[in-house]
Chain A
Amino acid sequence: SAVISQKPSRDICQRGTSLTIQCQVDSQVTMMFWYRQQPGQSLTLIATANQGSEATYESGFVIDKFPISRPNLTFSTLTVSNMSPEDSSIYLCSVVEGTHGYTFGSGTRLTVV
């Protein structure tokens, strides 16, 4: 199965600043997904990142707040912009393998103070 390297693993940031999270996959994948998992909550899909086109955002998430890059088939970044304490969460990238089975990166635990 694919191996995903996600970094940073954790960070503590000041409100109003931005953080960029990176995911590197060891194989080429068409779609990469970015999720958020708030404490005690389930995984919520932020957007789907496609190579060569703009990301597709889910309801409640906008590009200005969560800009995404997908420069090639093995790499993607998610930026959390103008952060507030409500953005404190775990952020995960994911890829789909075959017709089923999704592999996740190790996650980025973000705390905004």
Chain B
Amino acid sequence: GQNIDQPTEMTATEGAIVQINCTYQTSGFNGLFWYQQHAGEAPTFLSYNVLDGLEEKGRFSSFLSRSKGYSYLLLKELQMKDSASYLCAVRDEGKAGGSYIPTFGRGTSLIVHP
């Protein structure tokens, strides 16, 4: 199984850059996801990394190092609407039926203030 660790809460200023870290331990890594979840809403998909390196998508980038069991989500030019919970999820092999279901971390609550 997985052991996923991410900070509980972070604060940042509008217009700034913030990096949310995620570390994990898994028996057979098969991809890492980042999701955004606004209060009272369902999680929405942000990014997927399966190979080492940086994936950039607009203001959001996600980095993965498989050897270190480490990922981060980088948010640039922060906006007030980025205030949300950010969930790191890791998928590994070996689930029943090979279904590769991700396990979610507890999420990092990001507060963006003016």
| Residues of A participating in the B interface, judged by any CB pair closer than 8 Å | 31, 33, 40-45, 48, 56, 92, 100-107, 109
Contact = CB atoms under 8 A, between A and B. Distances in A.
Which secondary structure dominates chain B's binding surface?
Answer: mixed
Interface of B: 31, 33, 40-45, 48, 50, 87, 89, 96-97, 99, 101-107
A100 B99 contact: no
Given A101-B48, A102-B102, 5 more contacts: A43-B87, A43-B89, A43-B104, A45-B101, A102-B33
A7 B101 CA distance: 23
Contacts of A43: 43, 87, 89, 104
Contacts, number: 45
Contacts of A101: 33, 45, 48
A107 B41 contact: yes
B104 A33 contact: no
A105 B89 CA distance: 17
B35 to A, nearest CB: 8
16 contacts: A33-B101, A41-B106, A42-B105, A42-B106, A43-B87, A43-B89, A45-B101, A56-B97, A100-B31, A100-B50, A101-B33, A101-B48, A102-B102, A104-B44, A106-B42, A107-B42
Contacts of B104: 42-44
Contact of A100 (B33, B42, B105): B33
Given A42-B106, A45-B101, A48-B99, A103 B45 contact: yes
